[in-house]
Amino acid sequence: MSAQHTYRILISGGGTGGHIYPAIAIANAWKEKHPGSEVLFVGALGKMEMQKVPEAGYEIKGLPVAGLQRSLTLDNLSFPFKLLKSLRIASQIVKDFRPDAVVGVGGYASGPVLYAAQSKGIPTLVQEQNSYAGLTNKLLSKKATTICVAYPGMEKFFPAGKIRITGNPVRKDILDLSGKKEKALEHFGLAADRKTILVLGGSLGARTLNQAVLADMEKLEKSGYQVLWQSGKFYFKDMLSKLEESGLKHIHLREFIREMDLAYAAADVIVSRAGALSVSELSLVGKPVIFIPSPNVAEDHQTKNAMAYVNHQAALLLRDSGAVGQLKIKVDEVMQDAELAAALGNNMKKLAKPDAALAIVSELEKLVK
Per-residue pLDDT 10s for the chain (369 aa) are: 544 578 999 999 988 878 898 999 999 999 999 999 999 999 999 999 999 999 999 999 999 987 655 555 566 666 678 889 999 999 999 999 999 999 999 988 999 999 999 999 999 999 999 888 888 899 999 999 999 999 889 999 999 999 999 999 987 778 788 899 999 999 999 999 999 999 998 766 799 999 999 999 999 999 999 999 999 989 999 999 999 999 999 999 999 998 999 999 999 999 999 998 899 999 999 999 999 999 988 778 899 999 999 999 999 999 999 999 999 999 999 999 999 999 999 999 999 999 999 999 999 999 998
Q: Which fold has domain 8-168+354-368?
A: Rossmann fold (3.40.50)
Closest to 104 measured CA to CA, from 22, 204, 5, 7: 22
> Binding-site residues, please?
16-18, 130, 171, 203, 257, 276-281, 302
- Angstrom distance (rounded) from CA 362 to CA 223: 49
Q: What pLDDT does 172 receive?
A: 77
- Angstrom distance (rounded) from CA 119 to CA 125: 14
Domain boundaries, the chain: 8-168+354-368, 173-350
Count of beta carbons in the 10 Å neighbourhood of residue 78: 13
- Angstrom distance (rounded) from CA 249 to CA 360: 45
User: How would you classify the pairing of strands 38-44 and 124-128?
Assistant: unpaired
* Contact criterion met (CB below 8 Å) for 11 and 97: no
- Angstrom distance (rounded) from CA 7 to CA 100: 6
173-350: same fold as 8-168+354-368?
A: yes
> Binding-site residues for UDP-N-acetyl-alpha-D-glucosamine, please?
16-18, 130, 171, 203, 257, 276-281, 302
The domain 173-350 belongs to what CATH superfamily?
Glycogen Phosphorylase B; (3.40.50.2000)
Cβ-based burial of 70 (10 A; exposed 0-12, middle 13-18, buried ≥19): exposed
Q: What pLDDT does 77 receive?
A: 63
